[in-house]
Amino acid sequence: MLTGKTALVTGSTSGIGLGIARALATHGANIILNGFGDVEAAKREFVDLDCELGYHPADMGAPSQIADMIAYAESTLGPVDILVNNAGIQHVSPVEDFPVEKWDAILAINLTSAFHTTRLTLAGMKSRGWGRIINVASTHGLVASANKSAYVASKHGLVGFTKSVALEAATTGVTVNAICPGWVLTPLVQKQVDARAAADGVSDAEAKRRLLAEKQPSLQFTTTAQLGELAVFLCTPAADNIRGAAFNVDGGWAAQ
């Protein structure tokens, strides 16, 4: 279904980005990976698939490196047809103590990077008559939690950005949507599980149970494979008229 398409997934050396990249590749897309994780391990996830792979180490906090990554994608696998803005970081702290450099980094990586990748690829998608922009926001793009001010601001911003660009592209073949996961057990969340286990003096399993019980009514983590299949669905003709939507995949978190 996606054969011949080029998909760029930012932050795809682990977690959700890797899951989405693998799902898109399973349906035929060629993939540009990006991120700071173990690149060779990430590439091994694709060995059983018939897809072309590229990798660019751009720091999503650095606009000039983002421009280099888009140029690299175009020169190796061709123009970007599917853009998945997924790279993201977290820092947990009361706002009075929030380190200024952490605030700046979270806004740059979680939000501003999507502006740069979008501004550099949207015109090409429009001119070719087809494109998909999928922004990985969060339940924290829809509701808040204490001590996550920068993350919540960045993800609410990303949902707003999604809607605005979706409207700008509304009469074209390019759709722009957001995916809003609740808890997904990735390295980003494992750090929060570890902090919880240390703070409460409990086991890893108990820390996970407490984390889920607090927010996620299903008491189950969303999986990266589930998010990958949603991204694939957004690339099908059935999703041609889904524009500016934000999909909760959160076990009921935002329904409360």
Strand stretches in 140-205, DSSP E: 174-181
243: left (phi over 0), alpha (psi -120 to 50) or beta: beta
**Per-residue binder mask for ligand NAD (CB under 6 A), 36-55, x = binder:** xx------------------
Closest CA to 136 of 187, 176, 89, 85: 85
- The answer to whether 177 contacts ligand NAD (rule: CB under 6 A) is no
Q: Which residues contact 16 (CB under 8 A, 6 or more apart)?
A: 86, 136, 181, 184, 186, 224, 227
Q: Counting contacts by CB under 6 A, is residue 8 touching ligand NAD? A: no
86 lines the binding site for ligand NAD (CB under 6 A):
yes
| The one catalytic residue among 46, 55, 72, 151 | 151
Q: Does 234 help bind ligand NAD (rule: CB under 6 A)? A: no
Instruction: Respond yes or no: is residue 151 known to be catalytic.
Output: yes
SS3 category, 81: coil
Q: Is residue 188 within the footprint of ligand NAD (CB under 6 A)?
A: yes
Encoded one letter per residue, x for contact with ligand NAD by CB under 6 A and - for no contact, window 114-133 reads: --------------------
Q: Which of 231, 224, 222 is nearest to 249 (CA)?
A: 222
What is the rounded distance in angstroms from the CA atom of residue 21 to the CA atom of residue 32?
8
CB 115 to ligand NAD: min, Å: 14
CB of 242 to ligand NAD, least distance (A): 19
Answer yes or no whether residue 16 interacts with ligand NAD by CB under 6 A. Answer: yes
Q: How many CB atoms sit inside 10 A of residue 118's CB? A: 20
Which amino acids are annotated catalytic? 151
> Where does this chain bind ligand NAD (CB under 6 A)?
11-17, 34-37, 59-61, 86-89, 109-110, 136, 138, 181, 183-184, 186-189
